[in-house]
Amino acid sequence: MAALALLAVTYAVFLPAAWLRTELRGAEPTAATFHGGACLLGGCTVTYPLAGEQVTAGLPVGTRAGDHAEGDTVYVRSAPGEPERAVLAADTGRLTVAALLAVPVGATLLALLAAAVHVLRDRRPEGPHRPPDLGDFMS
């Protein structure tokens, strides 16, 4: 049961992150200031100007920001009308989306394999069990 809950959480985290990158693929890139954190876990942010105001947006789970340090200028794509929904412009490629989708697919395959091993291990042999013939041991 815990495996199913973990699998559900994996889908709930990675599918929206992949969808956001796909959704924002066509948005216009904007220069932003990078603020560090645990980017792979969705803990880093960017600040960028929009309509004369500074907007701070959290970057989604799976953001690849290993080359960026606090204060670096990066390019982001944001959702029209929802400036707090932003992704790094470099993270909107097909390979990034495929990698994000591979995580829940891989977790599903592992869960199915574990279930198959569990079922096969607990399977009892078919047919009645015949005790050994004592005559075979006496000769």
Length of the chain: 139
pLDDT per residue as tens digits for the range 12-35: 878 788 888 888 888 889 999 998
Token pair listed for 72 = 């670096």
pLDDT at 122 over 90: no
**SS3 of residue 121 by DSSP:** helix
Q: How confident is the model at residue 119 (pLDDT cuts 50, 70, 90)?
A: confident
Q: What architecture (CATH level 2) is domain 2-122?
A: Beta Barrel (2.40)
pLDDT per residue as tens digits for the range 29-82: 999 999 877 777 777 889 999 888 899 988 888 787 777 888 888 999 988 888
Q: How confident is the model at residue 6 (pLDDT cuts 50, 70, 90)?
A: confident
pTM, rounded to two decimals: 0.67
CA dihedral of 114, 94, 87, 37, whole degrees rounded to 10: 50
